[in-house]
Structure 1
Amino acid sequence: MVAADAFRDQPVLAGELVRLEPLGPAVLPAYWRTLQDPEGRRLTGTHAEFTHEQTETWLRSRGDQHDRADWAATAVGSGEFVGEVVLNDLDPANESVGFRIGLAGPHVYGRGYGTEMTRLVLDHAFGTVRLHRVELEVYAHNPRAQRVYEKCGFRLEGRRREALLWDGVRYDALLMSVLATDPR
């Protein structure tokens, strides 16, 4: 069994393209812009609206959450905020967790950031935290994200038909997971 506070000591994770640091208020301006990006909202199916104050409060509270890990991703070299990556919905008894990623907008798509962010977090989840399963949901209208997940070892498990209504069109949600024993 994994500890219920498995993410108490959330490390910095560094790759060739990105550096992942615990998410906090230091990235508020860039994080706020990301939340307003129409394409990012469409790809993630984000209908919710957040105020600037709610967003700042959320960012300030991340360090107090030990059953999840939220990272801010910055580009190596420039330090530009390129997105966030999250392990959430920890199930200690089953050694599993949810995965979520959001890139800062179309200006960072296609540069390998999402792939490296995913690989770094999976290495941490399986190697350090000793989880067995990481799962996610991705919408069918986001094939770029699906390819990244497949490259990183996620496998399709199922489909929630017409789970998202966006601008009058219904989209399926695809359920994917990767196990510690799966090739990555």
Structure 2
Amino acid sequence: MGGVVVELRAFALADAGVIVSWISGPAELLTWAGPGFTWPLDDSQLATYVAEPGRRTWTGVGPDGRLVGHASLRLAADGLSARLGRVLVAPDARGQGYGAALLTQVLTFAFAQLGLEHVELGVFAHNGNAVRLYERLGFRVDQVLPDVERVDGQSWSALQMSLAKADWSAGVG
């Protein structure tokens, strides 16, 4: 990660305006969050999202105090697994290692603090930067879901990916 440091802090509604500013339109919103939000994204949608039972949400803060990212985990009822989602890096922080640093913190929390055995996620196949980052962190594709969304006349496929604690512990992360 090239020494990039990100501190995780609980997402606060005061962060909502910054997060909303990172999303430029409906296609980018869908890429980030799937169909769970509607455009335009607003504070009330974010408030409902963070209040979901079993969801942990974080804001990533860079060493200079600047907000650099957002991520969440939705814990499964079994208490052994969770779904990673809503991972977003500030546009001016992309390509600098903040995403990897943010996710390393989230996954360390998931496996070490929460005691999870498994983390899964969904990502659109065309989101190559995200797919490559997840693969570098040890996630593997479990399933390809073809044509799950249609945006601007194009079909979007999704990848379901997962990471086992044993793989993370083995130094993949």
Say whether the fold is shared (TM-score over 0.5). yes
Q: Hey, what does 1:121 align to over in structure 2?
A: 106
Distance between the aligned counterparts of 1:160 and 1:179, measured in 2? Answer: 21
Q: What is aligned with 2:162?
A: 177
**Residue 20 (structure 1) aligns with:** 8
- Name the counterpart of 1:103: 89
The 2-side partners of 1:118 and 1:82 are apart by 12
Secondary structure at the residue paired with 2:156?
strand
Once residues 114 and 39 of structure 1 are traced to their aligned partners in structure 2, the CA distance between those partners, rounded to angstroms, is 20
Q: Residues 19-73 of structure 1, C-alpha deviation per residue, up to 9 Å, x if partnerless?
A: 11000122132122124456743633656224535146448xx4x6561210011
Q: Which of 76, 84, 87 is the matching residue for 1:91?
A: 76
Match of residue 139, structure 1, among 124, 137, 141: 124
**Any idea what SS the aligned residue of 1:92 has?**
coil
- Where does structure 1 differ by over 6 angstroms across 4 or more consecutive aligned residues? none
Q: Does 1:72 align with 2:62?
A: no
Q: Distance in 1 between matches of 2:26 and 2:63?
A: 26
CA deviations on 1:74-124 (whole Å, 9 max, x unpaired) are 2112x2212211001x2232611100111222x221011111111111111
The one-letter code matched in structure 2 to 1:76 is P
- Secondary structure of 1:141's partner? coil
Question: How much does 1:143 deviate?
Answer: 0.9
Tell me the C-alpha RMSD between the 2 structures. 2.4
Aligned residue-pair number: 164
Provide structure 2 residue ranges, at least 5 long, that are not aligned to the other structure.
Answer: none
Provide the identity percentage: 27
Give the equivalent residue in structure 2 for 1:159.
144
